[in-house]
């Protein structure tokens, strides 16, 4: 009998007997011409594909396997998969008659194994009271593999994807059958498991022969698979590295697959880290100004920290980043309980077509900040989004840009201080602490004189859209210096608005993190604006971010260190945290209609600080600026969900310059010191939260300019560096 005749019988046979027949000697003298795949193979009516779902329903759990019906249902699931593999092995013999003879003979041997596996499953199924065809079967494997374009496509899709996943399924479900006492089925699965190792090894052998020699196995595998297939399909319920090593897969491939994540059902949110968007927003308020390009230092910052947004997402969400973190780093994070996410590397700042995102449904688009830059990056994905309530074109417009301006912030603070009207139990400053926005040099000079007449001798002048401590000058001298006048005049000439404020003696910084969702239904009584929680904030003398921290009860209380400002010498009476929280909630209520009128939805943060006035009284400036975007404070709160109860967490950024000033030649040396002094301690399963220690959130092996660290413990001081003095050189 010719091999082609046998393959046609397996593909087109309409009885199980035809498909599982074992002919005698086969010859391959007349392989025939190339064969196009049918929409589905021939099958008896009871085994026709019933739906388009992945596998005919969820696999039974251990409890269901205690009953014959549950065991039979799972065996029915497996039998269909083995029959599909048999049919697909026959199909590849028909589709590629010119494939090397040793490859075709290897496929034939595998086909015969799959026939035997199907027979064995059918026999065990009968013992559970179920006949093959009693339950619906899915044609998912056929739809995913039958369109194969060449032999390497076949081994990538079937051998290295579905058969590789079976290394996990056979081992794990064999264990589950043994737990419920079905040792016969457990033994059967162990034998099939050994066969699957050989099948994967056969596919791997030919995949390596045909792939681009300049690519690693993992790189070639990822490139070969096309949506909706992905490496995620090559994994089962419990990852089995041992079986993959036995099949010959290399350590890099195994580790890369173990940490790979892609949603298999839920539409993923798409995250991207664009912290310098405020510069693009500033340019947008000046018609004709192009989106500014990142400087070399800014690009290095984004390159190092591009993966941080993974901690804002959920399992299987998608992160667009300059590069994909190493498998070793992702494996370390997953071992700490952080959920796996999918990474896509940007190509010259754009989403590459090879990522296949234009073919996938996406739940939402979530840049760090909506602005002209994120619209340009994500605009091409708008048609794939199914979960957002706001069209992408409405995510950023002049009204949203206004929320970023300090001028808007001074007006909002003035309105809120008037609303409180001196009735707040929390000491607040007067209206002059809100500052004033000006558009001319004469108005700026008049505002400076008025503020000083009220007893505030030190003044700060800020550009309307300055951020991260930039775009401001401090006037501490009795008279405005010529250089300061020149700075203000130049800013005004560029079309900037200036904000003039009294300089206040800051004691503690605090931020409130919020989330504004879709507008509430009329009459529901619920607010669209939700207070997420509170963090402390540490800035350097230039106003640039250094660290955030949060206490264990971050979702309902301000950090205790903020309240300590009222207990300082000459600070006055202790302040009740509940009164401060109540004030912040009143401010959130005042903020909600403002956000609604501007059409803003999404994350936002409000910065505030405690200060001592010129009379020595400790007061709160409840609103410094609004950040209508994700913030490091929000990131800190998301990280706190992985911290053990009763612990404090501090998120901090450490630059290579800081490391050098502390005596460390590289960031890697600093990390080694941190891991020695602050070893990681995890709580027990199932929560596996962080009890104490320091976590490197970005990959220390590749970071060149900045490290992001999470420090956890019962008592930590976010203002003190955790590494101390370096060890003396030997």
The domain segmentation of the chain, as residue ranges, is 3-19+47-259, 269-396, 504-629, 642-713
Q: What is the CB neighbour count within 10 angstroms for residue 369?
A: 25
Going from the C-alpha of 582 to that of each of 188, 225, 420, 431, 558, the distances in angstroms are: 64, 54, 12, 21, 11
pLDDT confidence of residue 685: 65
Angle of CA points 586, 587, 593, to nearest 5° = 100
The answer to whether residues 395 and 461 touch, using CB atoms and an 8 Å cutoff, is: no
User: How far is CA 333 from each of CA 239, 550, 566, 638, rounded to the nearest angstrom?
Assistant: 16, 21, 39, 15
8 A C-beta contact, residue 413 and residue 623: yes
The pLDDT tens digits for 15-52 are: 999 999 988 889 999 888 888 899 999 999 999 998 65
Average pLDDT over residues 544-553: 90
Q: By mean pLDDT, which of 262-271, 399-408, 577-586 is the weakest? A: 262-271
Residue 728 has a pLDDT of 40
User: Per this entry, what is the length of the chain?
Assistant: 730
Q: What is the pLDDT of residue 124?
A: 94
Task: Report the run of H or E that residue 572 belongs to, with start and end.
Answer: none
- Read off the pLDDT band of 519 (50, 70, 90): low
Strand (E) or helix (H) holding 272: strand 269-272
Of 362-371, 401-410, 488-497, 566-575, give the lowest mean pLDDT range.
566-575
pLDDT digits (tens, 9 = 90+) for 183-213: 999 999 999 999 999 999 999 999 999 999 9
CB-based burial label for 715 (10 Å; 0-12, 13-18, 19+): exposed
User: Does 728 or 533 have the greater pLDDT score?
Assistant: 533
Encoded tokens for 698: 């970005």
Residues 6+ apart with CB under 8 A from 668: 700, 701
- Angstrom CA distances, 484 to 396, 461, 481, 493, stand at 34, 10, 5, 14
In degrees, to the nearest 5, what angle opens at C-alpha 477 toward C-alphas 475 and 482? 75
* DSSP secondary structure string for all residues of 425-461: SS-B--GGGG-EEESSHHHHHHHHHHHHHTT---EEE
Q: Is residue 423 classed exposed, middle or buried when 0-12, 13-18 and 19+ CB atoms within 10 A define those classes?
A: exposed
pLDDT computed for residue 573 by the predictor: 58
pLDDT of residue 283 exceeding 90 = no
Token representation of residue 254: 């195994």
β-sheet bridge partners, residue 472: 462
522 has pLDDT over 50: no
Tokens of 385: 């989004």
Q: What is the pLDDT of residues 451-481, one digit of tens each?
A: 999 888 899 999 988 766 678 899 999 899 9
For residue 398, what are the CA distances in angstroms to 391, 600, 606? 15, 11, 20
Q: How confident is the model at residue 524 (pLDDT cuts 50, 70, 90)?
A: very low
With H, G, I as helix, E, B as strand and everything else as coil, classify residue 72.
helix
Three-class secondary structure of residue 665 per DSSP: coil
**What average pLDDT does this structure show over 237-243?**
93
Q: Identify the pLDDT of residue 248.
A: 97
At residue 457, the pLDDT reads 87
Alpha carbons 381 and 365: distance in angstroms, whole number: 8
Q: Which residues contact 494 (CB under 8 A, 6 or more apart)?
A: none
pLDDT digits (tens, 9 = 90+) for 162-182: 999 999 999 999 999 999 999
pTM given for the model? 0.82
251 burial level (CB within 10 Å; 0-12, 13-18, 19+): exposed
Instruction: Quote the pLDDT of residue 494.
Output: 85
| Residue partners of 513: CB distance under 8 A and separation at least 6 | 531, 532, 533, 534, 535, 603, 604, 605, 631, 633, 634, 637
Torsion, Cα of 191, 194, 196, 199 (10° steps): -130
Residue 385 DSSP code: B
- Greater confidence (519 vs 66) lies with 66
The answer, yes or no, to whether residue 55 has pLDDT greater than 50, is: no
Mean pLDDT estimate for the chain: 90
The 10s digit of each residue's pLDDT in 679-729 is 999 987 666 799 999 999 999 989 999 999 999 999 888 888 888 754 443
Class at the top of the CATH hierarchy for domain 504-629: alpha beta
CB 568 within 8 A of CB 618: yes
Mean pLDDT check: name the lowest of 89-93, 106-110, 289-293.
289-293
Q: Using omega within 30 degrees of 0 as the cis cutoff, is the peptide bond preceding 144 cis? A: no
Residue 282 pLDDT class (50, 70, 90 cuts) = confident
Using left for φ > 0, alpha for ψ between -120 and 50, and beta otherwise, residue 322 falls in alpha
What does the alpha-carbon distance between residue 92 and residue 285 come to, in Å, rounded to a whole number? 60
Q: What's the pLDDT score for residue 528?
A: 85
Contact between residue 388 and residue 295 where contact means Cβ atoms under 8 Å apart: no
Give the highest mean pLDDT range of 421-425, 640-644, 687-691. 640-644
Pairing of strands 545-550, 529-539: antiparallel
Q: Classify strands 648-655 and 545-550 as parallel, antiparallel or unpaired.
A: antiparallel
DSSP code string of 575-620:
--HHHHHHHHHHHHHHHHHHHHHHT--EEEEEEEEEEE-TTS-EEE
C-alpha span between 529 and 587 (Å, rounded) = 11
Instruction: Give tens-digit pLDDT for 114-124.
Output: 999 999 999 99
Q: Which of 68-77, 556-565, 568-577 has the highest mean pLDDT?
A: 68-77
pLDDT for res 726: 45
Question: What CA–CA distance (Å, rounded) separates 529 from 650?
Answer: 26
Residue 463 makes CB contacts below 8 A (sequence gap 6+) with 406, 471, 472, 491, 496, 497, 498, 499
Predicted pLDDT at 568: 65
In the chain, the percentage of residues whose pLDDT exceeds 90 is 72
Residue pointed to by tokens 């009890």: 691
On the question of pLDDT at 442 being above 90, the answer is yes
Read off the pLDDT band of 495 (50, 70, 90). Answer: confident
Beta-bridged to residue 605, according to DSSP, are: 513, 627
Contact 412, 623 (CB under 8 A): yes
Q: Which two tokens stand for residue 579?
A: 């009164």
Tokens of 633: 């404070």
């Amino acid at each position: 009998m010719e091999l082609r005749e046998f393959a046609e019988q397996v593909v087109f046979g309409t009885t199980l007997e035809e498909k599982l027949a074992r002919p005698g000697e086969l010859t391959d003298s007349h392989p025939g011409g190339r064969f196009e795949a049918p929409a589905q193979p021939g099958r008896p009516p009871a085994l026709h594909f019933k739906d388009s779902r992945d596998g005919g329903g969820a696999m039974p759990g251990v409890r269901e396997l205690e009953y014959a019906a549950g065991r039979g249902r799972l065996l029915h699931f497996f039998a269909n998969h083995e029959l599909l593999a048999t049919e697909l092995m026959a199909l590849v013999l028909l589709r590629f008659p010119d494939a090397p003879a040793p490859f075709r003979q290897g496929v034939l041997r595998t086909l015969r194994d799959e026939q035997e596996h199907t027979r064995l499953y059918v026999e065990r199924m009968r013992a559970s009271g179920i006949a093959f065809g009693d339950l619906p079967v899915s044609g998912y494997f056929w739809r995913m593999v039958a369109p194969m374009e060449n032999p390497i496509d076949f081994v990538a899709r079937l051998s290295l994807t579905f058969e590789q996943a079976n290394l996990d399924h056979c081992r794990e479900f064999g264990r589950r059958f043994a737990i419920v006492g079905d040792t016969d089925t457990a033994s059967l699965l162990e034998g099939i498991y050994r066969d699957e190792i050989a099948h994967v090894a056969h596919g791997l052998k030919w995949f390596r022969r045909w792939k681009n020699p300049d690519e690693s196995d993992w790189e070639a595998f990822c490139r070969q698979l096309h949506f909706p297939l992905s490496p995620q399909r090559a994994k089962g319920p419990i990852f089995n590295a041992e079986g993959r090593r036995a099949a010959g897969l290399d350590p890099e491939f195994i580790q890369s697959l173990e940490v790979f994540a892609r949603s298999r059902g839920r539409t993923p949110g798409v995250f991207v880290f664009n912290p310098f968007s405020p510069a693009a927003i500033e340019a947008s308020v000046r018609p004709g100004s192009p989106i500014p390009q990142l400087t070399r230092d800014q690009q290095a910052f984004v390159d190092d920290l591009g993966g941080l947004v993974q901690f804002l997402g959920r399992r299987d969400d998608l992160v667009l980043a300059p590069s994909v973190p190493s498998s070793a780093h992702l494996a370390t994070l997953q071992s700490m309980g952080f959920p796996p996410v999918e990474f896509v590397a940007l190509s010259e700042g754009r989403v590459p077509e090879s990522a296949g995102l234009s073919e996938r449904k996406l739940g939402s688009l979530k840049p760090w900040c909506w602005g002209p830059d994120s619209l340009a990056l994500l605009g091409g994905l708008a048609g794939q989004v199914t979960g957002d309530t706001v069209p992408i074109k409405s995510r950023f417009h002049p009204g949203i840009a206004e929320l970023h301006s300090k001028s808007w912030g001074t007006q909002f603070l003035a309105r809120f201080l008037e609303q409180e009207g001196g009735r707040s139990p929390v000491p607040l400053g007067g209206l002059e602490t809100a500052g004033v926005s000006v558009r001319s040099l004469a108005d700026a000079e008049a505002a400076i004189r008025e503020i000083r007449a009220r007893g505030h001798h030190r003044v700060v002048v800020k550009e309307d859209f300055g951020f991260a401590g930039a775009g401001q000058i401090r006037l501490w001298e009795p008279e405005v210096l010529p250089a300061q006048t020149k700075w203000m005049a130049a800013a005004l000439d560029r079309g900037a608005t200036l904000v003039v404020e009294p300089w206040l003696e800051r004691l503690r910084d605090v931020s409130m993190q919020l989330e504004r969702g879709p507008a509430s239904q009329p009459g529901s009584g619920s607010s669209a604006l939700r207070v997420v929680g509170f963090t402390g904030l540490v800035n350097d003398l230039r106003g640039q971010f250094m660290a955030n921290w949060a206490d264990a009860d971050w979702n309902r209380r301000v950090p205790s260190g903020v309240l300590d400002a009222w207990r300082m010498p000459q600070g006055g009476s202790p302040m009740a945290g509940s009164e401060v929280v109540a004030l912040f909630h009143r401010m959130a209520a005042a903020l909600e209609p403002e956000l609604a009128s501007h059409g803003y939805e999404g994350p936002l943060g409000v910065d505030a600080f405690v200060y001592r006035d010129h009379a020595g009284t400790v007061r709160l400036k409840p609103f410094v600026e609004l950040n209508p975007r994700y913030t490091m404070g929000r990131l800190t709160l998301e990280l706190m969900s992985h911290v053990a109860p009763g612990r404090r967490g501090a998120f901090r950024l450490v630059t290579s310059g800081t490391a050098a000033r502390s005596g460390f030649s590289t960031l890697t040396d600093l990390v080694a010191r941190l891991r020695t002094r602050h070893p990681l301690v995890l709580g027990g399963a199932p929560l596996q939260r962080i009890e104490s220690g320091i976590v490197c959130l970005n990959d220390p092996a590749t970071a060149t300019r900045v490290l992001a660290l999470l420090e956890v413990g019962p008592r930590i001081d976010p203002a003190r560096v955790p590494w101390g003095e370096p060890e003396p050189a030997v």
